[in-house]
């Protein structure tokens, strides 16, 4: 009987079976950042331990970094202290740090792949929920808590229970203007925010196979929002092409051996899954969230659902969503006024995410609506530099967008980029929880980058396909 990629990678990294029934799993790559690592380093040092595999640990600063100016010392003294703590920990433990002053910094889930650190068949962990992003390469990648960060620093292992595997198959051609973000929001809408609890999600099907690595990362990034512990896509030629020549990718001499191994970890054709769900790409429309969880979404052509559309155990959350978001059942999704537009984050802060927007801006005389503040926040300094070298910064600023420095920015608003009061934000990020974007009463509408751009220009939620006359596939 064949095996899934998850089973193969899990078994290859099993160090020991623990009396608890859990498994001690070796972590091939540990990514750290300034928010969840300081306490872990303190706990490590309290026990007189050092980092076991500093060469498998890589650091960046992303959550707290300002996007207006990264001049030191940072204006926010708490942020400056966190950055100083990170700098001192990485120096003391000889950990490779992707530093802003060397032009290397970026969101942890953007810099891993762009430097070739993320590779098929790996186990990867990071103290951030959206570590599932790295699964796009056929890695098994987990978000972990602070005490687990300590454990991995000390032992390079994690204790984990084995997950079930659900294959999510999407076949067919996406309509023009429908993106990977819409695919992942659609799947979460269909399976629910708790539908994936206890599962690893394997995304498959010809729609997924045709996706670029950036698109695959967008899909896997939000596996966690559907309750799955991780999400992955079997590696293929697209994966190998992406990795070729990157800083930490295997050298030319080791390349063929690496590809042979990467090929061998793919799920077998006769692999047995605990569950299979199938969706048609043609059924997917541009999705917009109307509520306070990523599953509370609807097509831009649709309406806010009625209470009767939900199971009784969901109705309390739906009621709270109506109240918090100040929306009414039956109200059209399109037309809701927005105050802020944010394109960035580890879900949609890569070069191709901005390219989709640049292409429409350069072909039309579009301007951000006067009442909207629109932020363009590259996912890494590399992405930012590449955008500038192509002149995209000027295209964005001429259209009325603010072109910022790299970081997490308004995804979590741990830096100065925050909503004010009950502002409504059209956001390409991954969470629309209450208060997520920095104001306790701020409201977030998740959507794709092209849909955020359309909302920024129209000043309200708008079908990007109509505004930008998108057609073809
Ligand atoms: S962009 Fe958002 S989800 Fe991604 S690492 Fe930063 S805060 Fe976390």
Q: What is the DSSP string of 5-45?
A: HHHHHHHHTEEEE-TTS-EEEE-SEEEE-TTTSHHHHHHHH
Per-residue pLDDT reduced to its tens digit, 346-401: 999 999 999 999 999 998 899 999 999 999 999 999 999 999 999 999 999 999 99
Place of tokens 């020991």: 16
Residue ID of nearest Cα to ligand 1 atom 4: 346
Helix (H, G, I), strand (E, B) or coil at 180: helix
Cβ-count burial 72-103 (b if 16+ within 10 Å, e if not): eebeeeebeebbebbeebbeebebbbbbbeee
d(C-alpha 51, C-alpha 56), whole Å: 10
CB 196 within 8 Å of CB 166: yes
Place of tokens 């208060």: 435
Maximum distance among all Cα pairs of the chain, rounded to whole angstroms? 65
> Does the Cβ of 412 fall within 6 Å of ligand 1?
yes
| Average pLDDT of span 224-236 | 98
At 307, the pLDDT band (50, 70, 90 cuts) reads very high
- The helix or strand, by DSSP H or E, that contains position 455, with its residue range, turns out to be helix 449-458
Ligand 1: centre distance to CA 351 (Å): 17
> Does the Cβ of 33 fall within 6 Å of ligand 1?
no
Residue 473, pLDDT > 60, answer: no
DSSP 8-state class, residue 99:
-
| Average pLDDT of span 42-55 | 96
Structure token pair of residue 305: 């659902």
CB 398 within 8 Å of CB 374: no
Ligand 1: centre distance to CA 429 (Å): 8
Ligand 1: centre distance to CA 399 (Å): 26
d(C-alpha 303, C-alpha 221), whole Å: 26
Reported for 301-307, long-range contacts at CB under 8 A and 24+ positions apart, including other chains, are 301/333, 301/334, 301/463, 302/332, 302/333, 303/329, 303/330, 303/331, 303/332, 303/333, 304/328, 304/329, 304/330, 304/331, 304/332, 304/333, 305/329, 306/330
CA 456 to chain centre: 22
> Does the Cβ of 63 fall within 6 Å of ligand 1?
yes
d(C-alpha 103, C-alpha 382), whole Å: 7
Is the alpha carbon torsion for 139, 90, 108, 41 positive or negative? positive
β-strand 29-32 against 23-26: which pairing, if any? Answer: unpaired
d(C-alpha 464, C-alpha 470), whole Å: 7
Residue 68 backbone class (left: φ over 0; alpha: ψ -120 to 50; beta: rest): alpha
d(C-alpha 8, C-alpha 200), whole Å: 13
Percentage of residues in the chain with pLDDT exceeding 70? 100
Helices 38-46 & 77-92 angle (0-180, nearest 10): 50
d(C-alpha 176, C-alpha 186), whole Å: 16
Is the alpha carbon torsion for 169, 269, 220, 150 positive or negative? positive
Residue 229, pLDDT > 60, answer: yes
Residue 472, pLDDT > 70, answer: no
CB 132 within 8 Å of CB 226: no
> Does the Cβ of 346 fall within 6 Å of ligand 1?
yes
CB 34 within 8 Å of CB 86: yes
> Does the Cβ of 109 fall within 6 Å of ligand 1?
yes
| Sequence-ordered alpha helix ranges (H) in 222-342 | 237-243, 252-264, 315-325
Per-residue pLDDT reduced to its tens digit, 401-412: 999 999 999 999
| Average pLDDT of span 124-149 | 97
d(C-alpha 216, C-alpha 135), whole Å: 9
> Does the Cβ of 217 fall within 6 Å of ligand 1?
no
d(C-alpha 377, C-alpha 449), whole Å: 11
At 471, the pLDDT band (50, 70, 90 cuts) reads confident
Per-residue pLDDT reduced to its tens digit, 1-37: 899 999 999 999 999 999 999 999 999 999 999 999 9
Question: Best mutation site among 32, 34, 35, 63 for ligand 1, i.e. most ligand atoms within 8 A of its Cβ?
Answer: 63
Per-residue pLDDT reduced to its tens digit, 357-367: 999 999 889 99
Ligand 1: centre distance to CA 157 (Å): 23
Q: Which residues contact 207 (CB under 8 A, 6 or more apart)?
A: 170, 171, 172, 173, 174, 183, 281
Helix (H, G, I), strand (E, B) or coil at 388: helix
Per-residue pLDDT reduced to its tens digit, 178-199: 999 999 999 999 999 999 999 9
E strand map for 33-149: 57-60, 96-98, 123-126, 140-143
């Amino acid at each position: 009987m064949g095996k899934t990629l998850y089973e193969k990678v899990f078994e290859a990294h099993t160090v020991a079976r623990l009396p608890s029934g859990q498994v001690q799993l070796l972590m091939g790559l540990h990514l750290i950042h300034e928010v969840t690592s300081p306490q872990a380093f303190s706990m490590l040092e309290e026990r007189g331990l050092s980092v076991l595999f500093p060469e498998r640990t890589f650091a960046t600063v992303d959550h707290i970094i300002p996007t207006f100016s990264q001049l030191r010392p940072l204006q926010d003294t708490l942020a400056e202290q966190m950055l100083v703590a990170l700098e001192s920990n990485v120096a003391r433990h000889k950990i490779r740090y992707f530093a802003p002053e060397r032009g290397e910094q970026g969101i942890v889930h953007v810099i891993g792949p762009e430097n070739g650190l993320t590779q098929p068949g790996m186990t990867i962990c990071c103290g951030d929920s959206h570590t599932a992003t790295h699964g796009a390469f056929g890695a098994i990648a987990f978000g972990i808590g602070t005490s687990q960060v300590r454990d991995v620093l000390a032992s390079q292992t994690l204790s984990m229970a084995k997950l079930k595997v659900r294959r999510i198959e999407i076949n067919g051609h996406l309509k023009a203007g429908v993106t990977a973000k819409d695919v992942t929001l659609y799947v979460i809408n269909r399976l629910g925010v708790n539908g994936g609890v206890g599962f690893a999600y394997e995304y498959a099907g010809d729609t997924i196979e045709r996706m670029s690595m950036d698109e695959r990362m967008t899909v896997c990034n939000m596996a966690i929002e559907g309750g799955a512990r991780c999400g992955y896509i079997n590696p293929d030629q697209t994966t190998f092409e992406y990795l070729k020549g990157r800083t930490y990718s295997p050298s030319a001499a080791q390349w063929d051996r690496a590809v042979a191994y990467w090929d061998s970890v793919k799920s077998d054709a006769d692999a047995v899954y605990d569950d299979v769900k199938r969706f048609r790409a043609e059924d997917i429309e541009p999705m917009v969230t109307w509520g306070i969880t990523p599953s509370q979404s609807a097509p831009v052509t649709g309406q806010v659902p009625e209470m009767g559309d939900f199971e009784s155990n969901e109705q309390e959350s739906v009621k709270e969503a109506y109240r918090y978001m100040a929306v009414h059942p039956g109200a059209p999704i399109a037309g809701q006024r927005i105050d802020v537009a944010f394109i960035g984050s580890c879900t949609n802060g890569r070069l191709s995410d901005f390219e989709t927007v640049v292409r429409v801006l350069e072909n039309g005389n579009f301007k951000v609506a006067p009442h909207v503040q629109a932020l363009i926040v590259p996912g890494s300094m590399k992405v930012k530099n590449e955008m500038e070298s192509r002149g995209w910064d000027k295209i964005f600023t001429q259209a009325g967008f603010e072109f910022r420095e790299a970081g997490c920015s308004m995804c979590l608003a741990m830096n100065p980029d925050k909503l004010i009061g009950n502002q409504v934000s059209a956001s390409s990020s991954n969470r629309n929880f209450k208060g997520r974007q920095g104001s306790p009463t701020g409201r977030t509408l998740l959507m794709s980058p092209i849909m955020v751009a359309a909302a920024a220009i129209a000043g309200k939620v708008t079908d990007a396909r109509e505004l930008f006359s998108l057609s073809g596939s």
